[in-house]
Amino acid sequence: MIIRSKAPLRLGLAGGGTDVAPYSDLFGGAILNATISMYAYATIQPRKDNKIVLNSLDKKVKLDYQMAEELPVDGRFDLAKGVYNRVIRDFVKEPLAFELTTFVDAPPGSGLGTSSTLVVAILGAFAEWLNLPLGEYDLAHLAYEIERNDLVMAGGKQDQYAATFGGVNFMEFYKEDKVIVNPLRIKSIYLHELAYNLVLYNTETSRLSSKIIEAQSKNVMKNVSASIEATHNLKQQAIMMKEAILRGDLDKIGEILDYGWQNKKNMAKGITNKMIDEIYETAVKNGATGGKVSGAGGGGFVILYCPDNTRIKVIEALKKFGGDIQRYDFTTQGLITWKL
């Protein structure tokens, strides 16, 4: 028997950072994101030799263990180990023998939610294999708990829910980890136009999002007014983006992205740097009306809104930075699992 799963990566279009505690607990957060045709994949094959094999094809890491109720969290393939340990503890109560193989279409640190999406894909594969009683909210919340509580990895709440639910969603975040996912019914012509105008540029650099997120959280805890005010504005940006997309006011999207980016830079140090600023300024000079760094900032992918057929001019102008344009489509489905 072979069990497979795939979960989509996402573009965070507005409100990024408002899903991070303690801000979301104190003030409530709001984010608008959309899943794209890039995925995290997981395959489970049961074994009969009392072994656990963890195989990451993209990272070129393969680990072998004797079957056990708990695997050591030691910095090697911890996301997979965290999922396995939690599944055994909460559901199965006895060790399992299997080989887990994973692959992600984007590198770690890309800003597309790769880590959390991989957790969702792995957890989804286990749920398919073991018939675990997990609905969409249950699975997304458990993935969040594994990553944030069990593995103590800094981050927000949006990625697990985006990967599980899929599509374009307006998400609300409240204290005690309460999350409400509001799927948006957007006309297909608006989505096609949005995908045409939004250029996804890979800077070919990575960043450690946890450092930026920790700095952002500390600024809220220390009541740094500039950081908190910027985060308030980003929450309002999510509402602005939702209204613009639903109404088809796509000409406003570049302006809304720029409004968010200018505020995002005030949340914490490290969100931008000289290279990112140069990329952004070059894009604007060649026709882009706004953009942002995907995820926490500091590197990875940059999203640029290029209306009126300016995308080609912008793409040509960005070639000097040595990055690459990532092709994608928006997707409507979230986590998918199946057996062979």
DSSP assignment string, 98-125? EEEEEEESS-TTSSS-HHHHHHHHHHHH
Q: pLDDT of 65-82, one tens digit each?
A: 999 999 999 999 999 999
Long-range contacts of 248-256 (CB under 8 A, 24+ apart): 248/187, 248/189, 248/190, 250/190, 250/193, 250/194, 250/197, 250/307, 251/307, 253/194, 253/197, 253/289, 253/290, 253/305, 254/288, 254/289, 254/290, 254/291, 254/305, 254/307, 255/289, 255/290, 256/14, 256/290
| Residue with the larger pLDDT of the pair 216 and 224 | 224
Q: Does the domain spanning 188-325 belong to CATH 3.30.70.890?
A: yes
pLDDT of 185 above 60: yes
pLDDT band at 206 (very low <50, low <70, confident <90, very high): low
pTM of model > 0.95: no
From the list 323, 257, 240, the residue with the least C-alpha distance to 293 is 257
Q: Are strands 168-174 and 178-183 parallel, antiparallel or unpaired?
A: antiparallel
Question: What 8-state DSSP symbol labels residue 92?
Answer: I
Q: Active site residue: 150, 159, 249, 277, which one? A: 159
Beta bridge partners of 39: 8
Which percentage of the chain shows pLDDT scores above 70? 94
pLDDT band at 297 (very low <50, low <70, confident <90, very high): low
Q: How would CATH label the architecture of 3-186?
A: 2-Layer Sandwich (3.30)
What gap in Å lies between CA 225 and CA 75, rounded to an integer?
36
Active-site residue flag, 159: yes
- Location of each CATH 3.30.70.890 domain in the chain: 188-325
pLDDT of 335 above 70: yes
- Residue 136 CA, distance from chain mean position: 17
- Location of each CATH 3.30.230.10 domain in the chain: 3-186
The mean of the pLDDT values for the chain is 92
Q: pLDDT of 13-60, one tens digit each?
A: 999 989 988 899 999 999 999 999 999 999 999 999 999 999 999 999
pLDDT band at 89 (very low <50, low <70, confident <90, very high): very high
Contact present, 275 and 161 (Cβ < 8 Å) = no
What gap in Å lies between CA 259 and CA 14, rounded to an integer?
10
- Find the mean pLDDT for residues 173-187: 93
